[in-house]
Chains A and B, each alone.
Chain A
Amino acid sequence: MNEFLHQFASGLALGGIYAIMALALVMIYQATQLVNFAQGEMAMFSTYLAWWLMQTGWPYWRAFFAAVILSFLGGIVIERVIVRPFAKAPILASVIVFIGLALIFNALAGYLYGYSVQSFDTPFSGRPWFGNVYMSAHESGAVLVSLCVLALVFAFFRFTPLGLAMRAAAQNPVSSRLLGIRVGWMLAIGWGLAAAIGAVAGMMAAPIVYLDPNMMGGVLLYAFAGAVLGGIDNPFGAAFGGFAVGVLENLVGAYVVGAEVKLTVALVIIIGVLVWRPSGLFGRRLVARV
């Protein structure tokens, strides 16, 4: 029983990371109908940025917030410079561009910071949350941070005028423009937010999976699985999906197939959901327009 709770709890920690990555993916999907395949590599690069700042002596939280802010700005720049020109192109072109972006970030990280695996500090050490024996201090901290991010994002979209305008721009760009909303900038800010969230996810993941240029490949896959499971057009469904995938991954890995094939769980979830219920648990049923 203890072992089960331990797997469940650390599944929640990973799940929190997947949940916020899934949220970032869904935010971009809702606004653009595109999946950002480069989200993982962008998050990895942000994490390296924070690592590098800490190597030069910055304290953890200062590096953390610097990385988040720089990622936000970087996301805006990427949207305006690279993504925007392909706004009217077919899906295949955008997918290829995102893969290209991912390759570039991966290469840049390898070039700037090397390919050897590094360790990444966690700000949460010592006694874990409520002194529980099922999670490490970092795992509890990660869950806390994930929940904070989810709460902040929810509050932003629900209660602020800018958040409202962004929701409007995603739902109906034409009507939004007629109201004077600068839809282009809403998209850019959306990308910025997604990049910032990814940075947080990367920095929470790095102490667990260790820092190297390929660290986020698996995380991204689980985030995809979570987003698909929860419903790719429902942000909080996707977050739920992320938590669910984290727990499932751990439990299936511990009790069913062994930890070495955990990624297959993600593959099975994605294909399974897409075959049986493409809109996911909480998404909207889509009808193809003739």
Chain B
Amino acid sequence: MASPERMAVRIATLAVFAFALAFPFFASGYRLYQGSQALIYAIALIGLNLLTGFNGQISLGHGAFFAIGGYGVAILTVKLGLSYWLAIPVSAVVCFGAGFLFGFPALRFGGLYLALATFALAVATPQILTYKGIDAWTGGSSGVLLAKPAAPFGLPLNADQWQFLLCLFCAALLYWAATNLAHGRVGRALIAIRDQPIAAETMGVNAALYKTMCFGVSALYAGVAGGLSALTVGFVSPESFTLALSLSFLVGIVVGGLASLPGALFGALFIQFVPNFADGLSVTFGESAKALPGAIYGALLILIMAAMPMGVAGFLWSLFRAATRVAGFAGEQADGVVVARTTKTGG
């Protein structure tokens, strides 16, 4: 019998899923679009969290894999005529490969140097995407336009509703996969490698394999997210994939909680909401409102690291746990619920 906390997480997850299933049938087109974006970010954040939160490898450049996914789907569907059902998985596999390959040299440096290298990747990505040599495929600085997918099998759904459900389907599948991964042997191995890498090795954990696989998997997630984003937004261009994107992914996992998979949705809603909020304000305050998201992100990153290493979601979660303990549930420690331990990372 799982602990009360585990049950609560399960119930909450099912409730959210049920709500999301119903969402397309009462929400407006624009809200559906925002919902799709949130789900897309959530997928990317889950991937990044596996890498950084669980495995302790710092990536400041996941926007690059997001871009590969997006451009991958764009090129496969527009230039090569593939259906998006195929394009997304193919693109995802390419991203896995790219991540896995990047993970190899990453083994040698790790920690700070990895942060540097991924930072460089993020800054260089828009330039690489505009490179003249490949612009037959990438469309150079104008990018590629995609057709938004319509509902298949003649289902009575409009494009926005279908896209939302597609994103929901992918997100649910990938979330389920990630939780299984995280709560099982693999998850424990990843955490062991994060916290005590040398000890883990001496106990037979092939750290190199796990770390590169983890990189590949997290890149795959970012790639799926990028592909879905390309389909939902309808185009890809170099400006969509700047350093700011990679940094907002970082903000997303910090706000949602490092090593907290449920927190990914929370983080995704946050990085979705804040720029929209700021845009709204710019009507009244003019251009200086553009500064607001950066200021909020920056301040939150510092405050959360100082006060709430488990992220806002984790903080609220601990409030919930404190409340249930008071209400009399025998609070056994969360078994299986992975607690974000930012106490030992890097290396």
Contacts and interface: CB of A to CB of B under 8 A. Distances in A.
- Direct interface between A and B, CB < 8 A: yes
Interface of A: 33-35, 37, 82, 85-86, 89-93, 95-97, 99-108, 110-111, 114-115, 217-218, 221, 224-225, 228, 257-258, 260-264, 266-267, 270-271, 274-275, 278, 288, 290
Nearest to B131: A261
A269 B300 CA distance: 33
B337 interface: no
Contact of B112 (A35, A103, A217): A35
A96 B253 CA distance: 11
A260 B309 CA distance: 40
A107 B293 CA distance: 8
Interface in B273-289: 287-288
Of A104, A105, A114, A266, the most chain B CB neighbours within 10 A belong to: A104
A37 B305 contact: no
Interface in B94-134: 105, 108-109, 111-113, 115-117, 119-121, 123-124, 127-128, 130-133
B52 interface: yes
Interface in B126-183: 127-128, 130-133
A225 B295 contact: no
Contacts of A275: 105, 108
- Tell me the dominant secondary structure on chain A's binding face: helix
B76 interface: no
Majority-rule SS of B interface residues: helix
A217 B243 contact: yes
A92 B124 contact: no
A104 B294 contact: yes
Contacts of A34: 112
A86 B290 contact: no
B7 interface: no
A93 B301 CA distance: 9
Contacts of A97: 301-302, 305
Given A86-B305, A260-B132, A274-B108, 17 more contacts: A90-B343, A91-B112, A92-B58, A95-B60, A97-B305, A103-B298, A104-B294, A105-B298, A107-B292, A217-B243, A228-B116, A260-B127, A261-B131, A264-B124, A264-B127, A267-B123, A270-B117
Given A96-B305, A104-B298, A274 B117 contact: yes
Contacts of A262: 127
Contacts of B306: 85-86
Contact of B288 (A89, A91, A110, A224): A110
A214 B117 CA distance: 19
A114 B105 contact: no
Nearest to A262: B127
Contacts of A221: 119-120, 123-124
A273 B119 CA distance: 15
Contacts of A37: 60, 115, 119
A93 B60 contact: no
B247 interface: yes
B316 interface: no
Given A92-B58, A96-B254, A261-B131, A103 B117 contact: no
A251 B250 CA distance: 34
Contacts of B299: 100, 104
A114 B123 contact: no
B291 A111 contact: yes
A103 B244 CA distance: 9
A224 B109 contact: no
B345 interface: yes
Nearest to A93: B305
Given A224-B119, A271-B105, A271-B117, A258 B298 contact: no
Contacts of B127: 260-264
Contacts of B198: 288, 290
A290 B347 CA distance: 12
Given A92-B342, A266-B124, A274 B131 contact: no
A85 to B, nearest CB: 6
Nearest to B111: A91
Contact of B305 (A89, A114, A225): A89
A99 B59 CA distance: 12
Contacts of A108: 291, 295
B116 A100 contact: no
Contacts of B347: 91
Nearest to B306: A85
B86 to A, nearest CB: 30
